[in-house]
Amino acid sequence: MFGVALTVEACLQSGTRADVAWVVDSDGLQVGDWADAVVFTPGGGRTGSLLSGALDGKLAELAGLGTTGRLVEAEVGPVDALIAELDSEGRATCLMVPADVLPEATWGKAIRREPFTLVVEIAGDEVVGSELVDAGEAATSTSVVESNTITSTFVATPEIVIVGANPVVDSLAGMAGILGWRPRLVTDTSIVGGLIAPLSPRDMVVVAGHDLELAGAALATALDSRSGYIASLGSRKMQADRNDWLAYRGVTDLTRVHGPAGLDIGAATPAEIAVSIVAEAIAQIRS
């Protein structure tokens, strides 16, 4: 849901219809992230995907129909599963709802990557109402289907934007994947801001590149974001150069930047340095 929120918000502001769909139950199919959603717009537009795209074609045929939303059963046969590189075939139950039917505050929360819960009332297969409620202490995304309601809780998968390319970056990305985080590796100054700006307090930024323009832009954006952990990795000279780059542009409050990055555990190898950074990030996020 978080990855499609900006598209939905743009459609709502322009008065364009947007149909949002997400998986609420499955039989035989492994759902990687229950927070995934897909948005269909008039003329065949689509943002996001479900089950690696296995459901998108079937759902697209239903987009634009009805005014309140509906519960949809979709089969994923052996050919569809093979094309989508799924482990098995099966059946998925999805909700497809016009975006303007859901509570307006939903999209602000999704854009800010804040956890939220939608309680959707159904009569048969038709949506008859919805309510946005507090997600409480939920740590993961889930959906619970009952006779008259479907309760979907959306919790953004923690993202770690890793800026640069070197062995530490590779080790850090691998470790992030093991922890269930979503690593986003970036070496392009033109896109680094767009990746970092939407981050939430659950997310992290680690700057490890030698390119001063790239590193400076990443740190500047991170400091202006809601990212819960910001780290600067490199030699003392590299840290000083980055600080000078920021100061020249009026960014002088670096209290949120952990530099040098990582807990002091005597790390020497790239993998050990990655462990120290991950440990520091967890401690900061959970504090």
- 18 with 31: CB under 8 angstroms? no
Residue 283 CB coordination number (10 Å): 11
State pLDDT tens for residues 199-228. Answer: 999 999 999 988 999 999 999 999 999 999
Residue 174 CB coordination number (10 Å): 12
Position 209 scores a pLDDT of 86
Distance of alpha carbon 228 from alpha carbon 264, whole angstroms: 20
The pLDDT of residue 66 is above 90: no
Mean pLDDT on 235-254 = 94
- 95 with 129: CB under 8 angstroms? no
Distance of alpha carbon 176 from alpha carbon 174, whole angstroms: 5
Residue 18 CB coordination number (10 Å): 25
Domains and CATH numbers, the chain: 2-109 (no CATH), 159-286 (3.40.50.720)
Rg (CA), the chain: 21
The pLDDT of residue 286 is above 90: no
Residue closest to 61 by CA, chosen among 24, 93, 3, 19: 19
Position 283 scores a pLDDT of 95
Angle at 71 between CA 66 and CA 72, to 5 degrees: 95
Distance of alpha carbon 130 from alpha carbon 249, whole angstroms: 46
**pTM to 2 decimal places:** 0.83
In the chain, what is the straight-line distance between the N-terminal and C-terminal CA atoms, in Å? 26
Contacts of 253 (CB under 8 A, 6+ apart): 223
The pLDDT of residue 32 is above 90: no
State pLDDT tens for residues 139-179. Answer: 899 999 998 999 999 999 999 999 999 999 999 999 999 99
